[in-house]
């Protein structure tokens, strides 16, 4: 016994002499099987620097900075967010390399991650001017780019793939506009599901024009084309509201600190990986649904992007959203809804996890970035992808047809 213990001790010492143990920091995790959160200290993987969040695959900076956030950062919240995104983005890379076996993830050059950046993204100059309509409560991935030669010298810039997490800003939901009348009464709930969905969609549409557009329509076109992770949460507040159509059910305030929501890191990283076929610069229900799907697979939760105390009060997206298809789901305004996610999730449940993930991943090759609809483009892409990767395509496509039928297509 003593001998064994001695051996164990020696082998332990040998291991620890070789295994490099990186510094540990506090991050936010969700509990298994729920979306409750807790904080714990974890080791920061694959660091290249010994004093800042600069690693093999990710470098985390503040705003427009070039240098990574230091381990000695005095702003505790910034330190927490830096550790959190660094950890979760490395988890996302690990997922794509090992579980999905993505070549793109294996070879992707180091990604710059920006925290608390409020500047708009400018395709020609990287960062728009500081005072031009600052952005809050969302995240986006930015494709690599370069300023053209005609841009003045001091604005010349060149950048690789980046992920931006915007600062949190508490917005009063009242500022978004009055709630209007309440058409969805208990009586309506007794109606047939298709009619209810139709009315709900009509109502959402009207609500969105009423609240959502006046505040945001002023945004310049290029930023409009970049998909948001943050905006969806705002939409969810509104859609959640329309479900109950009563201001009593709506939170007084809306806020979202995207750097603290693990699945938003997974979602944004998915956009980078899927960009071998799906350009990052389009926010469509199909593009967003694809990124949501892989965020959900990685997080192993039924609902993703759920509330995080102090950081987000937005409603989650549900992989098992039961609503039936309506043509409103094709509207880019619905890029933030969970309908596409639920369609893709049904594919996974029909074909099994392993084949389902392969089919959804393969489907990106048959999608066009800006014009693919759910009812036509996406379903067709999934069936084609099944031809490529399903074991028994004829049988499995029949199964998929009936799944799509149950979803209202
Ligand atoms: Zn997105």
Q: How far is the CA of 267 from the centre of ligand 1 (A)?
A: 6
Judge if 235 and 301 occupy the same domain. Answer: no
Interval between CA 93 and ligand 1 midpoint (Å): 17
Domain presence at residue 75: yes
| Whether residue 24 is found in the same domain as residue 166 | yes
Residue 36 and residue 145 share a domain:
yes
Q: How far is CA 259 from CA 74, 83, 194, 200, 363, in A?
A: 18, 10, 38, 32, 29
The answer to whether residue 215 sits within a structural domain is: yes
Closest CA relative to residue 360, chosen from 343, 373, 336:
343
Ligand 1 centre to CA of 70 (Å) is 28
| Residue linked to tokens 């084949």 | 355
> How much distance in Å is there from the Cα of 214 to the middle of ligand 1?
22
How far is ligand 1, taken at its centre, from the CA of residue 388, in Å?
Answer: 26
- Which of 230, 248, 266 is where one domain is finished? 248
Ligand 1 centroid to residue 74 C-alpha, Å: 31
Write phi, then psi, for 197 (nearest 5 degrees).
Answer: -60, -40
Strands 303-304 and 317-318: antiparallel
What are the phi and psi torsion angles at 61 (to 5°)? -125, 165
Same domain, yes or no: 165 and 281 = no
Q: Which residues contact 258 (CB under 8 A, 6 or more apart)?
A: 137, 138, 139, 165, 166, 168, 229, 230, 264
As a whole number of angstroms, the distance between CA 325 and CA 341 comes to 12
| Ligand 1 centre distance from Cα of residue 327 (Å) | 21
Are 303 and 223 contained in the same domain?
no
* 3 CA → ligand 1 middle, Å: 57
Tell me which H or E stretch contains 159: strand 158-159
The reply to whether 1 falls in a domain is no
Residue 12: the pLDDT is 46
User: What is the phi/psi pair of residue 121, to 5°?
Assistant: -80, 135
Distance 139 CA to ligand 1 centre (A): 8
- Any domain includes 6: no
The parent domain of residue 243 ranges over 183-248
**How close is the Cα of 10 to the center of ligand 1, in Å?**
49
* Distance (Å) from CA 170 to ligand 1 centroid: 21
144: left (phi over 0), alpha (psi -120 to 50) or beta: beta
Distance 279 CA to ligand 1 centre (A): 11
Domain check: are 347 and 218 in the same one? no
On whether both 266 and 233 belong to a single domain, the answer is: no
DSSP code of 31?
Answer: P
CA angle 91, 97, 99 (to 5 degrees): 85
Which of these three, 171, 204, 238, is where a domain ends? Answer: 171
Considering 213, 248, 283, which residue would you say is the last residue of a domain? 248
Inside any domain, residue 152 = yes
Q: What is the DSSP letter of 25?
A: E
Ligand 1 mean position to 78 CA, how many Å? 23
Q: What separation in Å is there between the alpha carbon of 175 and the centre of ligand 1?
A: 25
Looking at the structure, tell me whether residues 283 and 375 fall in a common domain. yes
pLDDT of residue 333: 63
Q: How far is the CA of 76 from the centre of ligand 1 (A)?
A: 28
| Ligand 1 midpoint to CA 369 (Å) | 13
**Does any domain span residue 3?**
no
Q: Are residues 131 and 190 in the same domain?
A: no
Q: How far apart are CA 58 and CA 104, in angstroms?
A: 15
The CA 253 to ligand 1 mean position distance, Å, reads: 23
- In whole angstroms, what is the distance from residue 205 CA to residue 200 CA? 8
Rounded distance from Cα 292 to ligand 1 centre (Å) = 7
Query: Is residue 244 within 8 Å of 184, Cβ to Cβ?
Result: yes
Count up the domains in the chain and report the number.
Answer: 3
Residue 72 lies in a domain: yes
Quote the ligand 1 centre to 391 CA distance (angstroms). Answer: 31
pTM score: 0.81
Same domain as 139, residue 45: yes
For residues 200 and 72, membership in a common domain is answered with no
281 backbone dihedrals φ, ψ, rounded to 5°: -90, 15
Give the whole-angstrom CA distance, residue 206 versus residue 183: 12
Which tokens is 11 given? 């082998």
pLDDT along the chain (409 residues), means of 10: 47 48 93 92 96 98 98 98 98 98 97 96 87 85 90 87 92 52 33 42 46 37 34 43 43 82 96 92 85 96 91 86 84 77 97 98 92 92 98 97 95
Asked if residue 177 belongs to a domain, the reply is no
Q: Report the separation in Å between the CA atom of 295 and the middle of ligand 1, taken as the mean of its atom positions.
A: 10
What is the reported pLDDT for 192? 34
CA of 231 to the centre of ligand 1 (A): 9
* Centroid of ligand 1 to alpha carbon of 262 (angstroms): 14
Residues 34 and 162 in one domain: yes
**Distance between Cα 312 and ligand 1 center (Å):** 17
Cα of 335 from ligand 1 centre, angstroms: 8
Do residues 366 and 381 make contact, with C-beta atoms less than 8 angstroms apart? yes
């Amino acid at each position: 016994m003593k001998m064994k213990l001695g051996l164990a001790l020696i082998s332990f010492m040998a291991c620890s002499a070789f295994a490099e143990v990186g510094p540990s920091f506090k991050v936010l995790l969700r509990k298994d099987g729920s979306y409750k959160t807790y904080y714990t200290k974890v080791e920061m993987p694959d660091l290249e620097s010994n004093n800042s969040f600069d690693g093999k695959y990710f470098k985390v900076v503040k705003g427009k900075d070039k240098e990574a956030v230091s381990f000695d950062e005095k702003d505790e919240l910034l330190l927490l967010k830096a550790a959190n995104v660094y950890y979760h983005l490395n988890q996302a890379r690990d997922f794509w390399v090992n579980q999905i076996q993505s070549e793109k993830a294996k070879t992707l050059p180091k990604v710059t991650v920006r925290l608390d950046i409020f500047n708009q993204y400018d395709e020609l100059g990287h960062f728009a001017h500081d005072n031009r309509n600052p952005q809050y409560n969302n995240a986006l991935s930015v494709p690599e780019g370069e300023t053209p030669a005609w841009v003045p010298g001091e604005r010349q810039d060149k950048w690789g793939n980046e992920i931006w997490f915007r600062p949190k800003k508490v917005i009063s939901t009242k500022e978004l506009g009055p709630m209007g009348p309440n058409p969805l009464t208990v009586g309506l709930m007794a109606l047939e599901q298709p009619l209810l969905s139709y009315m709900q969609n009509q109502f959402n549409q009207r609500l969105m024009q009423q609240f959502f557009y006046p505040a945001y329509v002023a945004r310049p076109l290029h930023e409009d084309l970049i998909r948001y992770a943050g905006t969806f949460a705002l939409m969810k507040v509104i859609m959640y509201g329309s479900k109950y159509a009563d201001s009593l059910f709506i939170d007084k305030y809306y806020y979202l600190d995207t750097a603290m929501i693990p699945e938003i890191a997974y979602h944004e990283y998915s956009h980078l990986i899927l960009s071998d076929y799906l350009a990052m610069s389009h926010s469509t229900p199909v593009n967003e649904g694809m990124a949501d799907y892989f965020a959900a697979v990685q997080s192993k939760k039924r609902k993703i992007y759920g509330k995080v105390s102090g950081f987000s009060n937005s409603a989650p997206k549900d992989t098992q959203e039961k609503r039936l298809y309506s043509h409103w789901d094709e509207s880019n305004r619905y890029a933030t809804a969970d309908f596409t996610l639920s369609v893709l999730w049904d594919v996974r449940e029909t074909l099994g996890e392993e084949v389902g993930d392969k089919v959804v991943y393969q489907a990106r090759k048959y999608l066009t970035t800006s014009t693919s609809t759910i009812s036509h483009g996406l379903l067709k892409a999934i069936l084609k992808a099944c031809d490529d990767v399903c074991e028994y395509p004829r049988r499995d496509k029949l199964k998929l047809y009936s799944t799509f039928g149950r979803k209202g297509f």
